[in-house]
Structure 1
Amino acid sequence: MEENAKERKRKNKKNKTKNNLVDVSKKDMAQDIDEEQEVDLSTKEELPHNQVNFEDDSDTEEQPKRKKKKKQPIPTESDSKKGKKSKRQIKKEKFIQRQAEAQAASKDQLKTQCLTYLSQWKHDKQNWKFMKVKQVWLFKNKFNPALVPDASWPQLLEYFDSAQGNIRNMLLDDANKIIKQLDEWSESQNKETNDTEEEVEVSRPDDNVYKRARDLIQCLQE
């Protein structure tokens, strides 16, 4: 009986020591866990700070500037119509063209009427009537072969020879200007010009115009 009691005491002591060791190990493990949690918490608290510092450093670095691409203008309907004429402009151009054609037709008609007036004076004096407008036209265009053709020139000389009053003096003045113009041109061609002298440009009258001027002077001075 005494041996059993001793054996129980010894076993109880072993169990106590084991329990104490277990408690110590549990305390150590709990302490280690607490320390690890504190470390984790500290690192977690520091992470945002470190992250902020990293982002701040990245902002301070010079980033290469990207070249901005030029925006290409979007073609609009107004741009496409720039090269095209508007209806108003087309109408205006047609109106100007019609006016020019009408004026040309009117000039041709007046030319025909004046030449008919001259021919009627020569061949049909009974039905001929004096018209100042047509006489003025013949006077202004007397030296122009395009308006008064060579075929009508002899008739015009006779008509002017029959004229009375101041118109004869005006005809002689115009004819003498043509003769003088040719004389001045001839002098300018023969004269040696110096560098210090100013050159006067004198145009040479047309041969047909010069011939008509001489014919007119001869006719009126006879």
Structure 2
Amino acid sequence: MGRNKKRKSEKNQNIHQSKEDLVVTESNTLSDSDEDTNRTLAKEESNEISDGKIMKRPLEHESENSDVEDEPKKRKKKKKTPAAEESATTGKKNKISKRQMKKEKHAARLALEQAQVKNQTKTQCLNYLSQWKHDRQNWKFMKARQVWLNKNKFSTQLIPEASWPILLEYFESAKGNIKTLLLNDANQIIKQMDEWTESQTNKDAECDKEQSESTELVKPDKTVYNRARSIIQCLQE
């Protein structure tokens, strides 16, 4: 009996010892595995840091927001105000094309050339008239100069008052077609003045105002009227 008890106690001790050994080995294996995992993680982190790239695991809410933010935002088109639209249209209208600018420059150049030609013709004709008066020996008759003088005889801008007595003396000896032209033009001015004066006297009479306004005549210039009278008196004597 005593031997059996000793055997049982030895067995119990051995079983207990074996259990403790199993617990120690399991704890050692667990600790070893944890150390291995920690080492691998440390290596991976060190590799990522050495490469200069630290990868972060996106959180659930960050991933959802990133999907929303990645979508392109639609910009609303601003409606143009009527003032802006008018300024844009007027700006386009006010822009002058190169062709239009060339046309305007060409027209301005032509107008300047024509004015220069007219001024040159005026000086030539007045010199022609002055030479007839003061230097008749060297003077020569020119049909074009005489036509110009006849055409512009009533113009105070082209034939000034200082040159008018010489022109009247020049036309005093006119004969044929030029004489008839001078008289017809002068009589037309006299007739126009007579009609105007008659219309002024009839304004006081009882008549329709609209009719009188529609038939209103223009009064000839006083200088033109005096030149017409002097031509008639000079050629009819």
* 2: CA distance, partners of 1:125 / 1:93: 46
Q: Secondary structure at the match of 2:157?
A: coil
2:211 is matched with: 198
Please say if 1:218 is aligned against 2:201. Answer: no
* 1: CA distance, partners of 2:154 / 2:231: 10
Q: For this pair of structures, how many residues does the alignment match?
A: 153
CA gap of 1:72–1:113, structure 2 versus 1, over 3 A, is: same
Percent of pairs with identical residues: 63
Equivalent of residue 195 in structure 2, options 176, 184, 201: 184
* 1: CA distance, partners of 2:181 / 2:234: 14
* 2: CA distance, partners of 1:163 / 1:85: 55
The superposition leaves residues 18-61 of structure 1 with CA deviations (integer Å, 9 ceiling, x where unpaired) of: xxxxxxxxxxxxxxxxxxxxxxxxxxxxxxxxxxxxxxxxxxxx
* 2: CA distance, partners of 1:216 / 1:194: 37
The superposition leaves residues 69-119 of structure 1 with CA deviations (integer Å, 9 ceiling, x where unpaired) of: 78559x9xx976653322222222111101001111111111111111111
1:148 is matched with: 159
How far off its partner does 1:170 sit? 1.4
Map 1:8-157; keep pairs closer than 5 Å: 72=80, 82-157=93-168
* 1: CA distance, partners of 2:169 / 2:127: 15
How far off its partner does 1:161 sit? 0.8
* 2: CA distance, partners of 1:159 / 1:193: 48
CA gap of 1:89–1:132, structure 2 versus 1, over 3 A, is: same
Unmatched 5+ stretches in structure 1? 1-67
Q: Secondary structure at the match of 2:94?
A: coil
* One-letter code aligned to 1:98: R
1:209 is matched with: 224
* One-letter code aligned to 1:198: Q
Equivalent of residue 160 in structure 1, options 171, 175, 181: 171
* 2: CA distance, partners of 1:132 / 1:178: 25
Q: Secondary structure at the match of 1:205?
A: coil
With normalisation by structure 1, the TM-score equals 0.62
The superposition leaves residues 161-198 of structure 1 with CA deviations (integer Å, 9 ceiling, x where unpaired) of: 12221211211111111111111111101112512883
* 2: CA distance, partners of 1:127 / 1:157: 21
Unmatched 5+ stretches in structure 2? 1-75
How far off its partner does 1:139 sit? 0.5
